[in-house]
Structure 1
Amino acid sequence: MRFTVRVIGAAAGGALACVAVVGGVQSGGTESAEAADTASLVAEGAPGYAVEDFNYPLADKILAEQNIVLKRGDGHITLADCVPGTGQLELLARDRAEKICFNTVGTEGWLTLEIPAVFSVKGNDYSTTVDMTVGTEEKSYEIGKNTWTPVGETADPEGRDHMLVEIRVAK
């Protein structure tokens, strides 16, 4: 019986407090102005919302250090140091002495970027498509799994220089 009385009393007290707050805010007096100021201060002091903009993190630093433009992605394709035997996507570009490698995770992913003069891509266990541009033309290439696939100038009858602009993967 005591438990029931306490619950009813707490519920009634909560309801009265709610009515008092609402009544105070609506009354238009000094109390309502103070309550509104307090509410806005709390809202202003609260942390902001985390909104994903899909911009590649540290893209400016990577551009400065490695001259690779990484634009946007979903986080499932990331630039990485090349490590043999780890199942990375690997790229060869004419103006680079070393390969460029990407780790892939999850069931699918995408990354927009700009790497000029890419001429070969080694796939991994994912189904991979790369989009490249030459002038105003855009071309897509399906990359063979775990094998090197000629793209860009090596796949172009005219041998034109292509820029890699997007990578898409799916398991």
Structure 2
Amino acid sequence: MRRWVPLGLGAAAAAAVAAASMLFTPAPQAAADDVPPVAVEDFAYPDADRIHEDTGIRLISGDGHILLAECGPAGLIEVWARGRDDRFCLSVRGASGRLALEVPQVYGIKGNDYRIVADMTVDGAETSYDITPNSWTAVGETADPEGRDHTLVELHAAK
């Protein structure tokens, strides 16, 4: 290992600098087999395949702040879609949230205390709806002059 010694220092100072530099030699690197794997968050919705099989709701990804919930208590987002026996509900936790999903034929969404934006697609184009807090908002075919079926693809919530 090559050591440098600053010019203009006396022999004692140079020796002290050289000794101190030996104290700060880097630690040997761990072998690749000793390093644990890196955890990478993909934001995929947990149990999404089982939920889709059981309910027909395809939950894709999100930040974990908008979650599928049992309908009933106040304060939930309610989503109505054709071809379903009943609505489904979502809860929001924290200051904001995002959920990517795929639910065809959505025609109504009831908001909660959050500012909700619902992104939907129809015929290859995306349309966004601002959901009225704590009230029903017509979306998709009920808001479309042509009455076309829309697919709900993303929800955004913010306080």
Q: TM-score, normalised by structure 1?
A: 0.74
Cα displacement (A) at 1:15: 4.3
| 1:103 maps to 2:91 | yes
Aligned residue pairs: how many? 139
Take 1:39 and 1:143, find their aligned partners in 2: how far apart are those partners?
54
Take 1:141 and 1:41, find their aligned partners in 2: how far apart are those partners?
51
5+ unaligned residues in a row in structure 1: which ranges? Answer: 1-11, 23-35
Take 2:76 and 2:32, find their aligned partners in 1: how far apart are those partners?
50
5+ unaligned residues in a row in structure 2: which ranges? Answer: 1-19
- 1:26-105 residue pairs with structure 2 within 5 A? 39-43=31-35, 46=36, 48-85=37-74, 87-105=75-93
Question: 3-state DSSP class of the match of 2:53?
Answer: helix
The answer to which structure has the higher helix fraction is 1
State the Cα deviation string for residues 144-165 of structure 1 (Å, max 9, x = none). 0000000000001111111000
Query: What is the alpha-carbon root mean square deviation over aligned residues?
Result: 2.1
Letter paired with 1:67:
G
Which of 92, 99, 121 aligns to 1:133? It is: 121
State the Cα deviation string for residues 2-36 of structure 1 (Å, max 9, x = none). xxxxxxxxxx9x949x69x86xxxxxxxxxxxxx8
Cα displacement (A) at 1:50: 2.3
Letter paired with 1:72:
S
| 1:161 maps to 2:149 | yes
Over the matched positions of the two proteins, sequence identity in percent amounts to 50
Which of 130, 136, 146 aligns to 1:148? It is: 136
Take 1:40 and 1:161, find their aligned partners in 2: how far apart are those partners?
53
Q: TM-score, normalised by structure 2?
A: 0.80
